């Protein structure tokens, strides 16, 4: 991980605020930032005091305008595949699968990889001035971090094609109409509005919230096998038979199961 903290975490009670902190470059993503995003995901998962996460960009000029073109354009083709696209997919998938609900506070433009990052959130709150785009075709490339996959399950293929095949920008109102944004905040208040959503989530039963997120993700085709196995394992672990099984193992005797 790079020494410079380009991904910052601040805890507010049971809510963690994660900020992309490269405002001078409109929070565009670098390989180092991807590494930090991955490390932050592990930190969030390990913190049992947390109940929700807010993801936002530093400054007032952008949420994230995507991948830093100066970083990825210098990569050799194989490195582009291994270091950039594959790593980004893995990290974004990890964020989408976090047990904690994630609320994106979209405080400005969310373009390309920035829009793909916003899509990993469970709830998206936008500033009225926020804009959205998949501009990759305008620079002779393609969405690389699940813009053609996760976004399709979120807003449908027609809306994704309208964005990706034209490279046009849409405003917050249009994003809300097509289901890309769940709420439009008051001007300059996207972070506060997202925090209010996260705090509401954090006030509810955390295990129920986290299980419900996994079930909804499974219904959307994401992580179904893992969700089913995790819930089956958790349920079976609460039974008397599970206690008997562990006791018999420790006592080196045959187990006597009763189906309870």
The two three-digit tokens of residue 258, written as one number: 């009763």
Report the 10 Å Cβ neighbour count for 100: 23
Stretch (H or E) spanning 245: helix 240-251
Catalytic residue check, 116: yes
Residue 64 is classified by DSSP as B
Q: Which of 38, 116, 186, 258 is catalytic?
A: 116
Nearest of 179, 103, 168 to residue 132 by alpha carbon: 168
Buried-state track 161-178, b at ≥16 Cβ within 10 A, e below 16: ebbbeeeeebbbeebbeb
Catalytic entry in 24, 45, 71, 136: 136
Residues 108, 200: Cα–Cα separation, whole Å = 24
- Helix 31-46 and helix 87-96, axial crossing angle in degrees, nearest 10: 30
Contact 147, 116 (CB under 8 A): yes
Establish whether 10 is a catalytic residue. no
Are 47 and 100 within 8 A, CB to CB?
no
- The answer to whether the beta carbons of residues 9 and 45 sit under 8 Å apart is no
- Which residues participate in catalysis according to the annotation? 116, 136
């Amino acid at each position: 991980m790079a020494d410079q903290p380009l991904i910052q975490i601040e805890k507010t009670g049971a809510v963690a605020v994660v900020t992309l902190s490269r405002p001078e470059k409109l929070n565009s993503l670098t390989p180092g930032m991807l590494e930090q995003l991955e490390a932050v995901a592990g930190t969030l998962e390990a913190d049992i005091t947390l109940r929700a996460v807010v993801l936002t960009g530093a400054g007032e000029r952008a949420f994230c305008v995507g991948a830093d073109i100066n970083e990825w354009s210098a990569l050799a083709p194989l490195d582009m595949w291994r270091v950039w696209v594959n790593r980004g997919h893995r990290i974004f998938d990890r964020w989408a699968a976090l047990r904690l609900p994630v609320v994106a506070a979209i405080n400005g433009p969310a373009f390309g990889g920035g829009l793909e990052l916003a899509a990993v959130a469970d709830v998206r709150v936008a500033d009225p001035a926020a804009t959205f785009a998949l501009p990759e075709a305008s620079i002779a490339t393609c969405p690389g971090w699940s813009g053609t996959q996760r976004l399709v399950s979120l807003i449908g293929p027609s809306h994704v094609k309208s964005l990706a095949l034209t490279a046009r920008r849409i405003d917050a109102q249009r994003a809300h109409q097509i289901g890309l944004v769940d709420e439009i905040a008051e001007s300059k208040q996207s972070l506060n509005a997202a925090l209010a959503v996260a705090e509401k989530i954090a006030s509810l039963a955390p295990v129920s919230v986290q299980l419900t997120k996994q079930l909804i993700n499974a219904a959307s085709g994401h992580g179904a096998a893992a969700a089913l196995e995790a819930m089956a394992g958790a349920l079976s672990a609460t039974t008397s038979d599970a206690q008997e099984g562990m006791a018999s193992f420790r006592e080196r005797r045959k187990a006597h199961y009763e189906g309870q």
